[in-house]
Every structure is written in C-alpha cells, then in structure tokens.
Amino acid sequence: MSDLPALARFGDRLATGLTDVTSDPAALDSSGFWAVAADYEGRLTCARFRDVQETPVPAPAPGRWHGPAAADWTSSLDHAAYTAGVRRIREHIAAGEVYQVNLCRVLSAPVAPDADVDALTAVLAHGNPAPYAGTIRLPGHGVEIATASPELFLRRAGRTVESGPIKGTARTEAELLPKDHAENVMIVDLVRNDIGRICTTGSVTVPDLCAVEKHPGLVHLVSTVRGELRPGAGWPDLLAAAFPAGSITGAPKSSALRIIDALETAPRGPYCGGIGWVDADRGTGELAVGIRTFWIDRDPGGTAVLRFGAGAGITWDSDPEGEWRETELKAARLLAVASGTYAETGL
C-alpha cells in the first residue's frame, strides 16, 4: 500500500522516519540504524531510519488483518513434484555431486489490496512468537515482509560475529532422527568454512552443537558458530562470505545452489534470504534467516498476493514422503495463523 508510511519492527524495537534506501552493503558500516532485507536471489535493500524507540508490538486489532481463505493457498511444487525432487536430489547424492540440498516450495494466496504486513505482524506475534520476529514495510521499494523466523543468520557485536544454523525438525525431541543430527553437523562445517573466510585464523569456534530448541508446534536442532572478523573486514565482506545461509542451501554450497536452481520453480524472494537490523553507530546487528516468513507481492494493477516458503533438508537418508510432511509441519501453524483459522490465536 503506497499510502502507508515506511517502518521496521524487530522485537520491541520500532523504526520510523525513513531517510535513505540503498542496495550498497557498505552503508551498513557508515552511520545510523538500518533495516536490512536480502532476497535469496541477491537483491539487497538497506533502509536507514531516523527514529528508533522501544515499543511492544500492538495486540491484534479485530478486522485489521484479513488473511486469505485457508483453501486459497497454492504451492509452487505440489506433492508429486516435491517428492520427485527429493528422489532427484538423492540421485545427485549417489553420484557424489552433493551431500545435502534444501528443497523449498513457495505457497501463495490472494489478499486484499489494502493488506498490511504490519497488521500481520501483530497476528504472528500473538499466534506464533519467534526470537527473530521482524517486519520491514517500504512502500514504493517492493519490500513488505513479516517474519517469524526462529533462526539467526548473522549477529555482529564489534568484531565478533555469530551464526546459529538450524538443521533438524520434528514435532517432539523424541521424533528427531540420526539424519537430523547428521544434517546439522554438515551445515555447521559449512558455516565454519563460510565465516572462516573473513575471520582471523583460529578464531572460529562452535560453542554449541545440536542443541534442542522448542518452538511453537515443533522442535529444532540448533548450533552456534562464532568468530572474530579480521582487520578491515566489514558487512560487505561478511555478507559476501556467508550469503545465502548454508542451512537453506546445502553442502557443498555451490553444488546445492545449482541443483536448487534446476528443481525449484518459483523464486524464493525474502524467503531464505536475510532479514534484520544493523546499528552502524554501535557496530552491532542481527540478521535472521528468512524462514517462517510472509511477504506481499503486488503488480501494477493493484493485485496483491501473500507468499510463504517451506522447505526441508534432503540427505541420502531422506524419505520423500517424510520430507513432504516436514514442509507441511513447518507451514501448517503459520498458514493457519495468517488465515485466522488457528484456534489458539483467538482471532
């Protein structure tokens, strides 16, 4: 909606008073508070805001968010196409081309032209709270994102950088499989390599490996990778080394990216990208991996489409039906919350 003001929310932090928008990552090492949205395909939008205040996300207002009907969601890969993709990835693994690939699908549904991602943010905060929840609304710049991400992509405090890759998902801790732990270790090794490219030699460590985190409706295995940036390295170097995140691509990353490009039929956009904030004055920042993320696409005629991505990490041990069910598990609660059909939201 072009008549809505630009804003960004991250937790209880609200940024308003837009002053600059750029695609240059070097801006993140300049000054001011920036909202950052990096599409999986590489489009980077950095928006500097003048005013930042601590303000809780407002409670959902009745009638403010009108989500799509539950039956209106369609998938870029249906059940047959997705399971066929899993089988094809296993063929690539058998051929020695790759060890793991994250296969994703994008779900879409029409929404009203006046749909507002900030109103969706209030609904998500109530129905699916998340540690890296965020919103970026930039009318006129094609960025309307509301994320309930549970995953840390990059955190920076001075020269210290940290990533928190998630690999391994189940309804309960007891349902996690050996395959989930193997996935996590593979991606941790990849993230160590990515961060190690721009960190001082010997500084990269793994303080936590395969810790179990509980989130609404499911559990994840989460690890922590930490390092110290080498002298002279900044946000452009960090993004170039780590993007896109290893947890949503695969290992080796170059092979996984090629296979993803061949199998997926829709652009991921903000899904699997990076979403967050950078305080250039303090040398701090926090970007989430853009999972559990909604975004609005608009065409010049005024039609608005709400999109949401879901995926799963495919390894040799993957069962095609099981991986399809994992994508359904990841999507079910969030789609129900956005459509107003999840009972616990009370909306």
Quick check: 284 and 157 in contact, CB under 8 A?
yes
| The residue type at 58 | P
Indicate which residue of 151, 228, 286, 326 is catalytic.
Answer: 151
Tokens of residue 203, six digits: 């500084």
Angstrom CA distances, 281 to 49, 285, 340, stand at 13, 10, 40
Specify whether 151 is catalytic. Answer: yes
SS3 of 73-133: CEECCCHHHHHHHHHHHHHHHHCCCCCEEEEEEEEEEEECCCCCHHHHHHHHHHHCCCCEE
DSSP label at 71?
G
SS3 of 190-259: HHHHHHHCCECCCCCEEEEEEEEEEECCEEEEEEEEEEEECCCCCHHHHHHHHCCCHHHCEECHHHHHHH
* Angle (deg, nearest 10), helices 79-94 and 253-263: 150
Quick check: 272 and 39 in contact, CB under 8 A?
no
Query: How far is residue 211's CA from residue 189's CA, in Å, rounded to a whole number?
Result: 16
| The residue type at 166 | I
Indicate which residue of 167, 179, 253, 330 is catalytic.
Answer: 167
Query: How far is residue 166's CA from residue 142's CA, in Å, rounded to a whole number?
Result: 28
SS3 for 296? strand
SS3 of 1-28: CCCCCCEEEECCEEEEEEEEEECCHHHH
Report the catalytic residues.
Answer: 151, 167
